[in-house]
A and B are shown apart, each in its own frame.
Chain A
Amino acid sequence: MKLGLVIDTDTCVGCHACVVACKQWNTSGTLGPLTDYQPYGKEPSGVAFNRVRTYEVDTYPNNKTINMPMSCMHCETADCVTVCPTGASFKRAEDGIVLVDQDKCMGCNLCAWACPYGARELDEAVGTMKKCTLCVDRIYDEQLPEAERQPACVITCPTSARTFGDLDDPDSQVSRLVRERNGYQSMPELGYNPVNHYLPPRHKPHAETTPGASLPSLTERFKSWLDKAVVR
């Protein structure tokens, strides 16, 4: 299995609901807490597994806004795992999820340096590395109704821009989406082979415009205005 996400940049509206849902679930999840620094101070910041950034693509009049949510891509060639000296970082053989064993991590930051996607953040209060778990503590939880065994970000997305599934299975919904909508990977040239894919904006037809007839003469227009204005 190759579990991962497919994220549709065509429908994502950049509402950050997935960011909030992720933080809410995971701050009390297996890796939690996700420490906040000065939450009520001047410059609040903190650990997050998922961040949404917004870009303008192309220039006027062809410009378009794209929102790009990013979390761990659970790369197939995950250098973050190979560089880890303690063995705290590992990739599960059964489903490809990349995790950090909080009891082994020594907080050297090397894995964060090795990740191209900014998926790993050091929790400065705890001293260990934290990252997206693909909600490993939800997706296998048999206490939850089947429909809810999905990552928190996927369930919460109001536009259904996020789909979770097995990218190894050619018939899964995620694989079909990637195939049909030309899903792509971020920075494929680095060779990490990220499992998560993004769907590009759809090509929508431009609004129909017909060349208007030439403007009627001034007298014509005055007459038609008069017709409407004067009620017999």
Chain B
Amino acid sequence: MHPALSVIFFTVVSGAGFGLVILTAGLGVLGGVPGLGATGILTALLVGVVLATAGLMASTLHLANPRNAWRAFFRFRTSWLSREAVFSVLFYPCVALYMFGLWRTDGAHGIGMSLVGLLVLLLALATVFATGMIYASLRTIPQWNSPLVPTNYLLLSLASGAVLLTGLTVAFGEPPAVAATLALVLLVTAAMAKAVYYFWIGKPQGPTINTAVGPTRARIKILESGQSSDSFLNREFSYEAAAERILRLRLVVYLCAFLLPFVLLVLLLGTDGAALSLALALVAPVLLMVGLLAERWLFFAEARHVVNLFYGRQQC
């Protein structure tokens, strides 16, 4: 699949934003984010909402006819893209109400606030899950048609949210023990899930050129694509990345998205110096974002749409 920058940016950035909101609201409902006061929590929510919004805005850039984007709310019953749109739009009034409440009550969570916080958390989770399901529901792309895909989207969103929360806690001059520990656990879990995914897509297991063209036993090869230059189909679906490049980018994913942030957070937990803490806590999310951009690029570049079979690929 052609890796479209707007979609890569959207899924990474809004995933991180929603992840940050999920963790902040979750910890808030459980009795407050350790180390962060009302101002800190509000800032974290605000950062999360800004990131989520930036991502969602970017996602509209890949629409060829954005004038009709408002219609995307009407097929909630069948379309995951519609569900994503509905969840993300419902999220805004809820999170606004939650933030207003936090500001009024100075961070105290009564029963009402807890309910609103829970609603915010669920809507953010549902949005990220729906994003993953948009891809996972496509039977035409064997590398995406798996529960591993929404799992990865959720875990990466939560892990990046936790790393951001750690950074914010340190930026507020507070001890980040809880947020950092949470981030470590989530990073390890997400890395394992991603490794499982990479292992799973390693072997082509989708339809073959034989069932696509018809004769099921003979060898088939394409003689003529019937077109003198690339069509929409080739531009959208026939993207091929060199194996070497894929390998190099996977290394970037493992290093920048998982290993280095992990090491930095472990160092952070062990250090007392304010300046060093701040440096560690700010570099970790930046590295993570770089790693996740590479991860998302690969997610598209490694996906093989079955229409390629008609253009001569033997298996997808």
**Is A160 at the interface (CB under 8 A from chain B)?**
no
Shortest Cβ gap from B61 to chain A (Å): 11
Interface size on B (CB < 8 Å)? 56
A82 in contact with B139 given A45-B230, A65-B223, A106-B72 (CB within 8 Å)? no
Select which of B68, B138, B218, B227 is within 8 A of A51 by beta carbon: B227
**Is B282 at the interface (CB under 8 A from chain A)?**
no
CB-based nearest B residue for A58: B218
Chain A neighbourhood of B141, CB < 8 A: 113
Select which of B82, B139, B212, B218 is within 8 A of A79 by beta carbon: B139
A106 in contact with B307 given A112-B236, A186-B212 (CB within 8 Å)? no
Encode contact with B along A55-86: 1 for CB under 8 Å, 0 otherwise: 11111001001101010000000010111111
Question: How far apart are the CA atoms of A14 and B236 in the complex, in Å?
Answer: 25
Shortest Cβ gap from B82 to chain A (Å): 4
Question: How far apart are the CA atoms of A59 and B140 in the complex, in Å?
Answer: 29
Question: How far apart are the CA atoms of A52 and B309 in the complex, in Å?
Answer: 14
Are the CB atoms of A57 and B140 closer together than 8 Å? no
**Is B110 at the interface (CB under 8 A from chain A)?**
no
Are the CB atoms of B232 and A121 closer together than 8 Å? yes
Are the CB atoms of B211 and A106 closer together than 8 Å? no
Select which of B63, B74, B224 is within 8 A of A14 by beta carbon: B224
**Is A206 at the interface (CB under 8 A from chain B)?**
no
User: Which chain B residues numbered 192 to 219 have a C-beta less than 8 Å away from chain A?
Assistant: 207, 211-215, 218-219
Question: How far apart are the CA atoms of A122 and B235 in the complex, in Å?
Answer: 11
Encode contact with B along A104-136: 1 for CB under 8 Å, 0 otherwise: 111111101111111001101011100000000
Encode contact with B along A195-223: 1 for CB under 8 Å, 0 otherwise: 00010100000000000000000000000
Are the CB atoms of B138 and A114 closer together than 8 Å? yes
Residue from the set B65, B85, B236, B309 with the largest chain A CB neighbour count within 10 Å: B65
User: Which chain B residues numbered 105 to 143 have a C-beta less than 8 Å away from chain A?
Assistant: 134, 137-141
Question: How far apart are the CA atoms of A113 and B311 in the complex, in Å?
Answer: 16
Are the CB atoms of B85 and A85 closer together than 8 Å? yes
Question: How far apart are the CA atoms of A184 and B62 in the complex, in Å?
Answer: 37
Shortest Cβ gap from B204 to chain A (Å): 14
